[in-house]
Structure 1
Amino acid sequence: MACRSLFFALRRNSSYIYQPQPCFLKGASNLSRFSSSGAVNSDVAIEEETHSSVAEDGDDLRSRIMRLRLPKRSATNIIQKWVLEGNTITASELRDISKDLRRSQRFKHALEISEWMVAHDEYQLSDSDYAVRIDLMTKVFGIDAAERYFEGLPLAAKTTETYTALLHSYAGAKLIEKAEELYQRIKDSNLSFDALTYNELMTLYVSVGQLEKVPLVVEELKQQKVAPDIFTYNLWISSCAATFNVDEVRRILGEMSHGAGSDESWTRYLNLANIYVKVGHLDNAASNTLVEAEKRISQRQWITYDFLIILYAGLGNKDKIDQIWKSLRMTNQKMISRNYICVVSSYLMLGHTKEVGEVIDQWKQSTASDFDMLACERIMAAFTDIGLGEIANNLNMVLIDKNLNPGNN
Structure 2
Amino acid sequence: MCRNQSYILGTFRACCAKSEVTSRSIEDNAAFVEPQKVRFNTSLSSKRCYVMTRDSPMPCRGLQFFSTQAGTESSEEEDDNLEAGFSKRQTPVSAGATQDSKGEAGNDDEFSELEISEDEINDDVEGPQNEMELSDTEPEVGREKSRERRGSNQLFRIIVTAPGLSVHNSLEKWVEEGNELTRPDILLAMLFLRRRRMYGRALQLSEYVESTKKVEFLERDYASRIDLIAKVRGIHKAENYIEKIPKSFRGEVVYRTLLANCVLANNVKKSEQVFNKMKDLEFPITCFACNQLLLLYKRVDKKKIADVLLLMEKEKVKPSLFTYRILIDTKGQSNDIAGMEQIVETMKAEGIEPDLATQALLAKHYVLGGLKEKAEPVLKQMEGGNGKENRWACRSVLPLYATLGKADEVERLWNICKPNPRIDECIAAIEAWGKLNNVEEAEAVFDKMVKTWKKLSSKHYTAMLKVYANHKMLAKGKDLVKQIGESGCRIGPLTWDALVKLYVEAGEVEKADSILQKAAQQNQIKPMFSSFMTIMEQYARRGDVHNAEKMFHRMRQAGYQARIRPFQCLIQTYLNAKVPAYGMRERLIADNVFPNKALAAQLASADAFRKTAVSELLD
The alignment's TM-score, normalised by the length of structure 1, stands at 0.58
After superposition, residues 289-328 of structure 1 pair within 5 angstroms as none
Within 2, Cα distance between the matches of 1:136 and 1:242? 32
Deviation of the 1:272 alpha carbon: 3.7
User: What 5-or-longer segments of structure 1 have no aligned partner?
Assistant: 22-56, 285-309, 326-336, 367-409
Report the counterpart of residue 326 of structure 2 in structure 1.
235
Deviation of the 1:67 alpha carbon: 3.1
Q: Does 1:82 align with 2:174?
A: yes
User: What 5-or-longer segments of structure 2 have no aligned partner?
Assistant: 1-72, 96-110, 113-150, 373-381, 383-389, 418-424, 440-619
Could you report, residue by residue, the CA deviation over 1:50-106 in whole angstroms, capped at 9, with x for unpaired residues?
Answer: xxxxxxx758323322334x5x14222222112211222122321221121111111
SS class of match (2:180): coil
Matched-pair contact (CA < 8 Å) for 1:170–1:178:
yes
Report the counterpart of residue 65 of structure 1 in structure 2.
159
Report the counterpart of residue 340 of structure 1 in structure 2.
403
- Equivalent residue in structure 2 for 1:7, among 83, 87, 94: 83
Q: Does 1:132 align with 2:224?
A: yes
Within 2, Cα distance between the matches of 1:201 and 1:346? 38
Quickly say closer, same or farther: Cα 1:212–1:129, change in 2 above 3 A.
Answer: same
Within 1, Cα distance between the matches of 2:396 and 2:157? 27
Report the counterpart of residue 257 of structure 2 in structure 1.
165
Report the counterpart of residue 356 of structure 2 in structure 1.
268
- Equivalent residue in structure 2 for 1:362, among 417, 432, 435: 435
Quickly say closer, same or farther: Cα 1:17–1:11, change in 2 above 3 A.
Answer: farther
Aligned CA RMSD, in angstroms, stands at 4.0
What amino acid sits opposite 1:7 in the alignment? E
Report the counterpart of residue 512 of structure 2 in structure 1.
none
Q: Does 1:248 align with 2:339?
A: yes
Matched-pair contact (CA < 8 Å) for 1:64–1:78:
yes
Report the counterpart of residue 257 of structure 1 in structure 2.
348
Matched-pair contact (CA < 8 Å) for 2:153–2:185:
no
SS class of match (1:105): coil
What amino acid sits opposite 2:155 in the alignment? L
Matched-pair contact (CA < 8 Å) for 1:127–1:157:
yes
What amino acid sits opposite 1:267 in the alignment? D
Q: Does 1:16 align with 2:100?
A: no
- Equivalent residue in structure 2 for 1:120, among 212, 219, 244: 212
Deviation of the 1:111 alpha carbon: 0.5
What amino acid sits opposite 1:16 in the alignment? P
SS class of match (2:190): helix
Matched-pair contact (CA < 8 Å) for 2:410–2:432:
no
Could you report, residue by residue, the CA deviation over 1:268-293 in whole angstroms, capped at 9, with x for unpaired residues?
Answer: 34544454455554689xxxxxxxxx
What amino acid sits opposite 2:403 in the alignment? Y
- Equivalent residue in structure 2 for 1:146, among 238, 244, 249: 238
Within 1, Cα distance between the matches of 2:228 and 2:208? 14
What amino acid sits opposite 1:181 in the alignment? Q
Within 2, Cα distance between the matches of 1:276 and 1:59? 41
Quickly say closer, same or farther: Cα 1:183–1:358, change in 2 above 3 A.
Answer: closer
- Structure with the bigger percentage of helix: 1
Report the counterpart of residue 194 of structure 2 in structure 1.
102
Within 2, Cα distance between the matches of 1:150 and 1:196? 20
What amino acid sits opposite 2:293 in the alignment? L
Quickly say closer, same or farther: Cα 1:58–1:151, change in 2 above 3 A.
Answer: closer
After superposition, residues 28-47 of structure 1 pair within 5 angstroms as none
Aligned positions, number: 283
What amino acid sits opposite 1:14 in the alignment? Q
Matched-pair contact (CA < 8 Å) for 1:202–1:214:
yes
The alignment's TM-score, normalised by the length of structure 2, stands at 0.40
Matched-pair contact (CA < 8 Å) for 1:268–1:349:
no
Quickly say closer, same or farther: Cα 1:196–1:317, change in 2 above 3 A.
Answer: farther
Quickly say closer, same or farther: Cα 1:270–1:59, change in 2 above 3 A.
Answer: closer
Quickly say closer, same or farther: Cα 1:274–1:204, change in 2 above 3 A.
Answer: closer
